Amino acid sequence: MIRKFLPYLRAHRWAVIWALAQVFLVAGFELLKPWPLQIVIDYVLGGKAPPTAGRFGEVWPCRTRHCC
């Protein structure tokens, strides 16, 4: 069945590749959606101190309480 379908697909292969790439990109961005909300809930509303070192240490411009 795939062998019969392949010649028709070959004419539109770039459109199919682009469509599949968009599906994977959208799925990836949907997985990243909760991350900003977690930061707001944990560090802004929850009163948790932001990390000063590690992966997210560089995200915060103010590392001490005496900034600005």
The chain-wide mean pLDDT, for the chain, equals 81
Residue 41 above 90 pLDDT?
no
Q: How far apart are CA 44 and CA 54, in angstroms?
A: 19
The closest alpha carbon to 63, from 35, 55, 53, 44, belongs to 53
Confidence of residue 23 (pLDDT cuts 50, 70, 90): very high
Residue 8 above 70 pLDDT?
yes
User: What does the block give as tokens for 41?
Assistant: 């809930």
**Higher-confidence position of 65 and 19:** 19
Q: Read off the amino acid at residue 5.
A: F
